[in-house]
Each structure stands twice: as C-alpha cells, then as structure tokens.
Amino acid sequence: MMNFKFSTTCILIGTLLAPVTIYAADANTDRSQPSSLIKDSLITTKTKAKLAEEHFASTFQIKVDTDKAGAVTLSGKAPSQAEADKAVSIVRETEGVSSVKSEIVVQSD
C-alpha cells in the first residue's frame, strides 16, 4: 500500500512537471538557471518513481541525486548486493540518465 501511494505521488508530480520538460531540455544549461534544476528534479522524480514501480524493497532507503548532465548518484542502504545491483540496473534504464554511480552500502539486518 505504501509503495502504491509513493508511486501515485511520483506520477502526479511528474505529470505536473511535464509542461516544463520542453523548457528544461537543453543539456548544456548552467546549474544556476532554474531550467537546469527542473531537469535534474525531473530525472530524480522519474528515477524514484521507477524504483517504486518495480516494487523495489528498499526504495525509501536509497537516496537519488542527479547532476546537470543527467549523471545519477545512488546512496543509502540496501539489504543485499543483489538489491543494490538491481537499483543501479533500474536507474540505468531511466530516460534522461546518462550514467549511474553507486554509493549504496550493503547492510543486512
């Protein structure tokens, strides 16, 4: 139920931000410009939504950070290396992501 609420929220946010994607489409924008921040946020939102969509067990323990070039850094905790690898794989397939760096710590309970 929690993943469904999170997914729904992410989809709603993505839908509301969709009209600004055309404005934020230029990859060579300066980070001080609002359009660059919007693009970064859209990629981060898509990434988080995709993790939730895939019923990724540790979605709430993985932090997602996106830079202006579409490079995503994942950090946080995962219960196994397999889940950490799965998160990286899911993010690599997300539209707009140019590269993925994993700083996920495997920490079993």
The string of DSSP letters for 13-51 reads HHHHHGGGTTTT--TT--TTSHHHHHHHHHHHHHHHHHH
What is the reported pLDDT for 27?
A: 44
What is the reported pLDDT for 28?
A: 44
Q: Mean per-residue pLDDT for 21-27? A: 43
What is the reported pLDDT for 24?
A: 44
User: C-alpha dihedral over 97, 18, 48, 75, to 10 degrees?
Assistant: 50
The CA distance from 26 to 107, in Å, is 38
| Neighbouring C-beta atoms of residue 88, cutoff 10 Å | 17
What is the reported pLDDT for 78?
A: 85
pLDDT, tens only, 48-105: 888 888 766 555 578 889 888 889 999 988 888 888 899 999 999 988 899 999 999 9
Task: Output 5 or 28, whichever has higher pLDDT.
Answer: 5
Q: pLDDT band at 12, cuts 50/70/90?
A: low
The CA distance from 73 to 88, in Å, is 9
Q: Mean per-residue pLDDT for 1-7? A: 65
- In this prediction the pTM is 0.62
What is the reported pLDDT for 43?
A: 87
CA 101 and chain centroid, separation: 12
